[in-house]
Structure 1
């Protein structure tokens, strides 16, 4: 579920999971990372396009990128 992308980012492949699991798993994984860490999150749940930006705002992370993909969304998050 977690791997590196070559850009130094941690990748969370959360495709196939439904709300609220993408946010819960992202929050849990990011708790172990240093401030400033970059996390790539891949999702297929349509609600993630709303939930992940809200999670970033609430937890003080910076949403660097939101991209729609063929199967869902790709987010790049900088841990606050």
Structure 2
């Protein structure tokens, strides 16, 4: 998701999560600073678990599919 701005990182993550089985973990690397709030809200709304995220030059998220 590097180089993509909202809403593309969320849309691509949603598609990738759709291909996973329950309990599997998706790693997302984004460069959009707004992605932190976007992924937090996305996980709250969808019921997927945001396991962790790190911030720096890149933003790394680990999400567990519900």
Point out the structure with the larger strand share: 1
Q: Could you tell me how far apart the structure 2 residues matched to 1:22 and 1:63 are?
A: 15
Point out the structure with the larger helix share: 2
TM-score (norm 2): 0.94
Find runs of 4+ consecutive structure 1 residues off by over 3 angstroms: none
Q: Which has the higher contact order (CA 8 A, sep 6+)?
A: 2
Offset from partner CA, 1:4-60 (integer Å, 9 cap, x none): xxxxxxxxxx11000000000000111111000111110000110100111111111
Q: Could you tell me how far apart the structure 1 residues matched to 2:58 and 2:43 are?
A: 18
- Greater radius of gyration (CA): 1
Q: Which residue of 1 aligns with 2:4?
A: 17
TM-score (norm 1): 0.79
Q: Partner of 2:33: helix, strand, or coil? A: coil
C-alpha RMSD of matched pairs (Å): 0.7
Segments of 5+ residues of structure 1 without an aligned counterpart are 1-13
Q: Which residue of 2 aligns with 1:78?
A: 64
